[in-house]
Amino acid sequence: MFYFRHDPEPVAPRELVTSPSDFTTVKEFFPGEAPYDWDGLNAPPLDTGFLWVDVDLRCAPLRSLQLLLSSLCPGIPIEQITDLYIAELEPMAGELPPVTPDVSVIRSFDWVVTCWHTGDGREEAYRAVERRWRELGPGDAVTAGDLAALLIEELSERRGHTCVVV
């Protein structure tokens, strides 16, 4: 469609406009301490903490998610963010039986990103991981890699969920 200079540009309906808090939950972790809900969606944490970003793809616009995760998770490849969407869409498009994981986990030394595709028990699993984090204390619960290991153990070994880890 062509627009002339005097025509206003189309604007997305208000119900389609989302903010990052509509499709992400972000917690900041410090070694061995209980996590804090993090609301500074515009910059990574200070030197001592790291972020766990949980994404709800049902209401996350891909481009917004790419921009947000690129700023919160330094070094995250755009392709990995896009792969979260592909894992969500593949079962709808293929002739083969769906092979969607229950949970996708992207991790680094400084951050963890999770996304549930199927399954239930998200809140209970996350509470169990947070409890184990505190129990381990600052000697054994230090990095985002440690948190990712606890998460994967809880989801796959204790709850039987399938995980894709990148």
What are the pLDDT digits (tens) for 109-160? 889 999 998 778 889 999 999 999 999 999 999 999 999 999 999 998 888 8
CB-based burial label for 113 (10 Å; 0-12, 13-18, 19+): buried
pTM of the model: 0.81
Inform me whether the pLDDT recorded for 26 exceeds 50: yes
- For residues 15 and 7, the answer to whether their CB atoms sit within 8 Å is no
User: What residues are paired with 164 via a beta bridge?
Assistant: 104
Residue 75 — pLDDT band, cuts 50, 70, 90? very high
CA 113 to mean position of chain CA atoms = 4
Which residues have C-beta within 8 Å of that of residue 93, sequence separation ≥ 6?
none
Q: What is the dihedral of CA 137, 146, 118, 72, to 10 degrees?
A: 100
pLDDT score at 83 = 87
Which residues have C-beta within 8 Å of that of residue 49, sequence separation ≥ 6?
28, 29, 30
Cα 155 from Cα 13, distance rounded (Å): 38
Please indicate whether residue 131 or residue 85 has the higher confidence score (pLDDT). 131
DSSP 61: -
Structure-block tokens of residue 45: 């944490």
pLDDT score at 129 = 95
